[in-house]
Amino acid sequence: MILQSCFSQPTSTPRNCFSINNPFLASHLKRSFKNCCFCSFEKRILILKHDLHNEYCLKSISSNFKIRALESDAGQLDEATAERTKSDYGDLVWPSPIDEIPFWNRELPSWDISSEGPVDIQKDSDLMHIVHVTAEMAPIAKVGGLGDVVTGLARACLTRGHKVDVFLPFYECINKQHIKELALTSTYNSFYDGSWVATNVYRGVVSGIPVVFIEPSNQFFKGQSVYGGSYNELEAYLFFSRACLEWLQVSGTQPDIIHVHEWQTGSLPLLYWDMYHYLSLKKPRIVLTIHNMEHYGECRQEQLSKCGLDGSMYANEEKAVDDRTIGHNPERLSLLKGSIVYSNAIVTVSPTYLKETLCSGWLAGTLIRHRDKYFGILNGIDAAMWNPATDAYLPAKFDANNVEGKKICKLYVQRGLGLASEVHSRNPDTVPLVVCISRLVAQKGLHLITNAIRYVEELGGQMVILGKAPDGRVESEFRGLAELHSKGSSIRILLMYSEELSHMLYAAADIVLVPSIYEPCGLAQMIGMRYGAVPIVRKTGGLADTVFDMDDQSQPELMNGT
Ligand code: ADP
């Protein structure tokens, strides 16, 4: 926990870092509103704290809150910039929407961040061996923030001198080219559903982090994506959780901390304390991080029994019964609840989300009972993975002292997506680019995103949405919107996952929109700030802990968005 806290608030922040809580960020943003590197933008956009449904809406009104868009038409780059652009980016191949290969799929330079990051980090005195057991890890198996946080936290702990291993299912969809030194270490057997399953264990290095890949010989983790394969996901993660402990036992490894994440690895604390601790694993203590309480790991007793525990032993209020099902037949279990009860410490990803989870939701009672071991620690972003000064995916690099590269990035994205630059010649002012990069699920404020499209269009701005919708109905709604706008000059909706494009969009953005209904922490607003964009968010969870309203004069040193 302490380590996670250190990660959230790096002690030595590079000068070009816009991390949260960095006073440099506030002054950067203030400067960016006021001075020359951002050209003027006549239309004023602000977030009206609209009382309507207690939600925020984008509105154009005359106000003193002025967001200046980056000058973005090549013809309008100032002379000095144009000169430098010619010399520095003379061989840049500008993209076009009719390119056969979209610009984010072009051959991009290979990028190994393992050697990047602050060099002057002080080592901790009390060094530990930490094992993360996780369903996601960026960039090889990332769906959302969980992947980012596991990688960032592991790298931060390594930098501080700890020994770290990440245990990950060897998903079939993982691109092996991103793994260094990949080698089959051993084959062992792990128990599942009455028999022992031959399981391969590979070792490799991802972004400088040692990773242990667990590959069962059955159908688990096969498919083209991290989630949603044709196998039973709950059973696959039950298998994985036990297989990790089994491997620690077989290999005689006794880490100090086993750090589990989300419901997927929620059975591990139960398996540890009720089984493996009685066998040979004595030393480890268990930390659970709850990244999002949306999923509870609903599980039937007989499913839990498949991993070798007696499921009926956990079907009571003190252990793992899903309180919502009490009195129903059959009652269910919740792996998340079980792991809250059985872990030595529980962390959630922001102080405000901690308060929210203690006040609402059916797990509030359990969390209150375990309040003394429950902590809210703000996530951070990996300042090496998200660094506009070194980011390999950007057509031009930049930092707070040199934003010309950001102008190039914006123009590059506008050209590649066919967002009009002719608007600029009619209008001497340039157009702000609003970017929203998000899983398209109800939590993320889908109706606010669609409202924002309308407002941005009405206001003469531009907007790009990059998102994947796991739900078919949401997918088809956004597909309809994407088609509606595909020929226009101001809105683009890209329904897919692309790590590379996400980097380019953050770099191009003037504004990053995060209108979540609830948000345990949220990384998009932090990444946006690191790439010099202004975050516009709903005040909830971690967004409330990281974005401080420009209109709120009570803490002028913190103001960084709205
Ligand atoms: P959550 O974990 O709820 O998805 P976060 O804001 O914590 O939300 O983290 C989201 C992470 O996933 C960010 O790094 C964001 O850039 C990334 N992301 C979300 N959707 C996409 C997408 N379609 N393509 C690429 N990256 C995405």
Domain 384-545, second-level architecture:
3-Layer(aba) Sandwich (3.40)
Cβ atoms of residues 206 and 140 within 8 Å: yes
d(CA 518, CA 536): 14
Q: Say which DSSP state 263 is in.
A: G
Residue whose CA lies nearest to ligand 1 atom number 20? 438
Q: So what's the pLDDT on residue 70?
A: 54
Ligand 1 binding pocket includes 148 (Cβ within 6 Å): yes
Question: What count of other Cβ atoms lies within 10 Å of the Cβ of residue 32?
Answer: 20
Task: Specify the pLDDT at position 420.
Answer: 77
Where does 201-316 have alpha helices with state H?
A: 233-250, 268-271, 301-305
- Which of 468, 526, 519, 470 lies closest to 497, judged by CA? 468
Which ligand 1 atom is the nearest neighbour of the CA of 521?
A: 7
| Pocket mutation for ligand 1, best pick of 226, 227, 466, 523 (most atoms within 8 Å of C-beta) | 523
Domains of the chain by residue range? 129-376, 384-545
Do residues 520 and 292 touch, judged by C-beta distance below 8 A? yes
Centre of ligand 1 from the C-alpha of residue 124, in Å: 31
CA 354 to chain CA centroid, nearest Å: 18
Ligand 1, atom nearest to 291 Cα: 2
Q: Is the CB of 349 under 6 A from ligand 1?
A: no
- For residue 10, which of 290, 292, 378, 261 has the smallest C-alpha distance? 378
User: Would you say the CB of residue 20 lies under 6 angstroms from ligand 1?
Assistant: no
pLDDT at 115: 74
- β-pair partners for 203: 183, 212
Dihedral of the alpha carbons of 339, 342, 343, 345, in degrees to the nearest 10: 110
Q: Tens digit of pLDDT per residue, the chain (562 long)?
A: 333 332 233 323 322 222 323 333 334 333 332 322 222 222 333 332 332 233 333 333 223 333 445 544 444 455 555 565 666 677 899 999 999 999 999 887 777 777 777 778 899 999 999 999 999 999 999 999 999 999 999 999 999 999 999 999 999 999 999 999 999 999 999 999 999 999 999 999 999 999 999 999 999 999 999 999 999 999 999 999 999 999 999 999 999 999 999 999 999 999 999 999 999 999 999 999 999 999 999 999 999 999 999 999 999 999 999 999 998 988 999 999 999 999 999 999 999 999 999 999 999 999 999 999 999 999 999 999 999 999 999 999 999 999 999 999 999 999 999 997 644 445 534 799 999 999 999 999 999 999 999 999 999 999 999 999 999 999 999 999 999 999 998 999 999 999 999 999 999 999 999 999 999 999 999 999 999 999 999 999 999 999 999 988 898 999 999 9
CB of 498 closer than 6 angstroms to any ligand 1 atom: yes
* 129-376 and 384-545 share one fold: yes
Pick from 149, 348, 439 the residue to mutate for probing ligand 1's pocket: most ligand atoms within 8 Å of its CB: 439
* pLDDT at residue 58 in the model: 35
Closest by CA to 199, choosing from 169, 231, 230, is 169
Q: For ligand 1, atom 9, which residue shows the shortest CA distance?
A: 145
Which pLDDT does position 86 carry in this prediction? Answer: 60
Pairing state of beta strands 57-60 and 45-48? antiparallel
Which residue CA neighbors atom 4 of ligand 1 most closely?
144
What pLDDT score was predicted for residue 91? 83
* pLDDT for 113: 79
Judged by phi (left if over 0) then psi (alpha if -120 to 50, else beta), residue 347 lies in beta
CATH superfamily name and code, 129-376 = Glycogen Phosphorylase B; (3.40.50.2000)
